[in-house]
Structure 1
Amino acid sequence: MFALIFENKEKNCRLNLKCDPIIAENLREQHEAVQPGYHMNKKHWNTITLDGSLSDEDVYVMIDHSYEMVIQSLPKRVRESLAES
């Protein structure tokens, strides 16, 4: 799992993404919309509030980073099978 989406009609959507701990801290310092992971390991997960304060490109980069972090932790044969599909 590399992402969780929380939808709330009364508030902005939130997205939990896995992140390298050093990068996670930097993002939290730079962006109010990036907080420690809600109901997740606070060291390895960020919660991004999709309130328009981050560009789409910034969010896509964070999603790609999360996906890559998870893929790199998989066994080699699983990574290779994903690359084939």
Structure 2
Amino acid sequence: MEIKRTRDWRNAQKRRNKSRDVHKALLTFRGEKNWKMLYTRSDKLLRAAQLGHEYPRMTNQQRALRGLEEYHYSNERTFYMQS
């Protein structure tokens, strides 16, 4: 016996197997997209790494100050190592 696979047959199959689609959506959950909903710092760091962003965000002035501190610290360390 040959089964005619018409549009009605495809729709009936879709309705019959609809419960299987729910589980696929649960497996592809990608986490929160709203930063306010990420509670802990570690979650925010992980999410920032996934997205390729830097966290916490730093201004150019903060970067400049940090660079100056590292520069001064590196000069002091080489001075003490020479003696």
Shared fold by TM > 0.5?
no
The bucket for the TM-score relative to the shorter chain is under 0.3
The TM-score, its normalising length taken from structure 1, stands at 0.24
Richer in strand (by share): 1
Q: Could you say which structure has the higher helix fraction?
A: 2
- The structure, 1 or 2, with the larger RCO (C-alpha pairs under 8 Å, 6+ apart) is 1
TM normalised by structure 2 equals 0.24
